[in-house]
Amino acid sequence: MGKKLLAAGQLADALSHFHAAIEGDSDNYIAYYRRATVYLAMGKSKAAIRDLSKVVELKQDFTSARLQRGHLLLKQGKFDEAEDDFKNVVSWSPEVEKLLSCF
């Protein structure tokens, strides 16, 4: 339901659904990821980073969460932390490493 509300642009309602999902299962990394997406849509990057960090804590190889968090950290000027996320992603994905070597 939260995904449908997010897609419809009903961010506050979507946020409520993801809060409830996380309360029901605090290890649900997908719910944290989706809630981070809602936070980003609302312009709340600090809250999004907290949720993305929780996703990475629960599922270290979730590359989308690491990439998103890395981009947000980069925008905040936290270059070392962003670099750690990007290096982590590269170490898991030879395809990404090949792409980056072109630059």
- The CATH number given to whatever domain includes residue 25 is 1.25.40.10
**Domains held by the chain: number:** 1
Cβ neighbours of residue 54 closer than 8 Å, sequence gap 6 or more:
29, 32
Residue entry with tokens 């907290």 = 50
C-alpha distances in Å from residue 64, one per residue of 29, 31, 36, 89: 12, 14, 12, 9
Q: 68 lies in which domain range?
A: 2-101
* Amino acid 95: pLDDT: 66
* Amino acid 102: pLDDT: 56
Task: With a cut of 70, list the residues of the chain below it in pLDDT.
Answer: 93-103
* Amino acid 92: pLDDT: 72
* Amino acid 72: pLDDT: 96
Q: What's the whole-model pTM score?
A: 0.84
* Amino acid 7: pLDDT: 86
